Amino acid sequence: MGESAEEQGAHESVARTLARRLLNTAPPLVAQPVRRASRALRGALATRAARRDEGQVQQPSVSAELGTALAATAGPASQARERYLELMKRCLMGLMYEDQIGAPPDRRARMEGMDWPSVGHTMIGRKRLDNIQFCVEDVLTRGVPGDLMETGVWRGGASIFMRAVLQAHGAGDRHVWVADSFAGLPPPDTSKYPQDTGIDLYLESALAISLEVVQANFARYDLLDPQVHFLKGWFRDTLPQAPNGSLAVLRLDGDLYESTMDSLVNLYPKLSVGGYVIVDDYGAVDACRQAVADYRRMQGIDDGIVTVDWAGSYWRRSR
């Protein structure tokens, strides 16, 4: 039997309660200089930075790595923050109260971001959620200026998680920008983008989630507030005039060559040096990978691309 809306609400209120408690007790990361972090935590941060700078390497699980350091050394407030974000990940992946009508979800596929959850709010899986946490916490720690943005949000889960990380660290001065048609993918424009030939995801009604539903999903986690902004429409129309200023984390999840290229051309110039661009479909969709390669070549970008998992990759902007 699936759970009622009431039961779902009860689970979500656990996350909200934890968040509120955190805000009342946990010192924000943005106010903690790295030099004051514990030795173990500094070690974890240094290891991550070293691995990242090596270029094409597997991104470690930040929860496993940072979580271990925190568990060993940090106080209850930091542990509570980590547990809030862990609970958020489980809720967003639909692992807390997945609809049990029919076959239960394949847990391995869900963790690896290989299925489309029936009720979960993101399809990106565990490692890519960990990667968002890593990137956002890193820009907060380093003081890299700018907001967070996702282009291609589906039910909103990855963007909701970005907002949750800001919330967990008391970062009230950064905003989350949520860009989507809220009507699914566009049909491929093969005369302009032959790389998208044959990608018929525009036929998938399951990918067309309305703005109202996405906003309601943010509200379920008590994270719909003035720090969140929505840009509705095709990227080719909305992104050239997007009102956001500088970005510290830019996450691309629009699948197509066109969607990836529109996002890079219009938003990469706004990415602060030291900030991150995450490409959800880099390993999964040839057309997306081609757009990234073409844009990097055009702009002379040679920052090392780090693999997150079978699909996601990212790089840190060095100049």
Ligand X SMILES: C[S@@+](CC[C@H](N)C(=O)[O-])C[C@H]1O[C@@H](n2cnc3c(N)ncnc32)[C@H](O)[C@@H]1O
Residues in contact with ligand X by CB under 6 A are 122-124, 152-154, 157-158, 180-181, 184-186, 207, 234-235, 253-256, 258-259
Distance CA(2)–CA(252), nearest Å, equals 32
CB 258 within 8 A of CB 282: no
Nearest to ligand X of 258, 309 (CB atom): 258
Nearest to ligand X of 147, 255 (CB atom): 255
Distance of closest approach, residue 223 Cβ to ligand X, in angstroms: 14
Distance CA(300)–CA(268), nearest Å, equals 13
Distance of closest approach, residue 281 Cβ to ligand X, in angstroms: 7
Closest CB to ligand X belongs to which residue? Answer: 152
* Radius of gyration over every alpha carbon of the chain, rounded to an integer in angstroms: 19
Other C-beta atoms within 10 Å of 5: how many?
8
Distance of closest approach, residue 76 Cβ to ligand X, in angstroms: 31
Residue 128 neighbours by CB under 8 Å, 6+ apart: 113, 158, 278, 280, 308, 309, 311, 312
Distance of closest approach, residue 6 Cβ to ligand X, in angstroms: 25
Residue 105 DSSP SS3: coil
Distance of closest approach, residue 121 Cβ to ligand X, in angstroms: 7
Closest CA to 136 of 214, 37, 49, 248: 248
Nearest to ligand X of 44, 126 (CB atom): 126
Nearest to ligand X of 45, 149 (CB atom): 149
CB 181 within 8 A of CB 209: no
Distance CA(231)–CA(304), nearest Å, equals 30
Nearest to ligand X of 44, 158 (CB atom): 158
